[in-house]
Amino acid sequence: MNADNPNPYATLKPVTQVMTNPHFETIGGEAVIIQLVEKFYFYMNILPEAAGIRTMHAADLSHTKKILVQFLIEWLGGPKIYSSERGHPSLRKRHMHFPIGEVESNAWMSCMRHAMEDVVSNAILRQQLEQSFTKTANFIRNK
């Protein structure tokens, strides 16, 4: 590997780590993940700091919500519906079309932090998830 031919997989480690996160049962399964995603986009619609990242998304969020629910089910250790339908998450690649820097990743985290406070009752789990989300949000930064 050298600067002209960098290993495209060298940065995959954080995602691999979070993909083995066994929190699906602890969080309360699919029903709670659906609530989490609903709240996440609720906050994305109303928080001033999220206005910029909201414009990156479609006006109608129903498709996006469904995909994020499927992803989080798998990410938290539940059934692998997301990857059977959409292939490897490749989150960094899938976010390359959107300019994501510190401001955008902090805004995303702000929505997720608010949503978790509303929905995830277990404080330890909330803290662990916050760490994993933060790692991933930093990992997909591209500017």
Strand ranges for the chain from DSSP E = none
Of 25 and 102, which CB lies nearer to ligand HEM in the complex structure? 102
Is 100 in contact with 92 (CB distance < 8 Å)?
A: no
Q: Residue 67 interacts with ligand HEM (CB under 6 A)?
A: yes
The encoded tokens of residue 136 equal: 């991933």
Cβ of residue 67: shortest distance to ligand HEM, in angstroms? Answer: 5
Q: Residue 41 interacts with ligand HEM (CB under 6 A)?
A: no
Q: Which amino acid is at 79?
A: P
Of 4 and 97, which CB lies nearer to ligand HEM in the complex structure? 97
Cβ of residue 9: shortest distance to ligand HEM, in angstroms? Answer: 18
Cβ partners under 8 Å of residue 33, min gap 6 = 27, 69, 72, 73, 76, 78
Q: What is the DSSP letter of 48?
A: G
Q: How far apart are CA 127 and CA 143, in angstroms?
A: 27
- Which positions from 93 through 132 interact with ligand HEM, judged by CB under 6 A? 94-95, 98, 100, 104-105, 108
Task: Give the total of residues touching ligand HEM (CB under 6 A).
Answer: 21
CA distances from 65 to 59, 92, 101 (A): 12, 19, 22
**Binding string, 75-94, against ligand HEM, x = CB under 6 A?**
-----------x----x--x
Helix (H, G, I), strand (E, B) or coil at 5: strand
Q: Residue 140 interacts with ligand HEM (CB under 6 A)?
A: yes
Is 137 in contact with 109 (CB distance < 8 Å)?
A: yes
Q: Residue 71 interacts with ligand HEM (CB under 6 A)?
A: yes
Which residues in this chain contact ligand HEM in the complex, by CB under 6 A? 53, 56-58, 64, 67-68, 71, 86, 91, 94-95, 98, 100, 104-105, 108, 133, 136-137, 140
